[in-house]
Structure 1
Amino acid sequence: MGIADDAQNKADDLKGRAKEAAGAATDNDDLKQEGQADQGLAGAREKVTEAADKAKDGINSLKDKLTGR
């Protein structure tokens, strides 16, 4: 996908890490779990983005082979 998607995923991961740390420091299990969930979502989005990029590269490679580029 794009740089904006990568930046958003990194921001969500950092936000999750901050929530998890704050939850651990204040003994707030709900906040800690929310932070872990944010990190999990960011990781899942990153994997989807990577898979989409690989698929796009594969399609472009196939197009190049078929058109003789």
Structure 2
Amino acid sequence: MPEYTPHQHGMVPAIWFRYDIIPITVKYTERRQKIYAFITSICAVVGGSFTVASILDSLIFTASELFKKFELGKMT
């Protein structure tokens, strides 16, 4: 019995894509940020930086205190 291939009997494998192109209009308007929004953003960045620095400082201080206790043999 002969082996069946897709090319027999006029069949050719194919993939068909159909694109429905709809025109899209993009309207771009540039607006300046209000001064109070800018000041609020600056305050948020500064406050967040101080908060992260404070957390890191407290972690480093606590770790150094634990290390000192460990060196002195006072860990319980």
TM-score by length of 1: 0.58
Report the number of matched residues. 45
Kindly name which structure, 1 or 2, has the bigger radius of gyration based on alpha carbons.
Answer: 2
Q: Which runs of 5+ in 2 are unaligned?
A: 1-30
SS at match of 2:47: helix
Q: CA deviation at 1:63?
A: 0.7
More helix by share: 1
TM-score (norm 2): 0.53
RMSD value, Cα = 1.8
Between 1 and 2, higher relative CO (CA 8 Å, sep ≥ 6) is seen in 1
Percent identical among aligned pairs is 4
Aligned to 1:38: 44
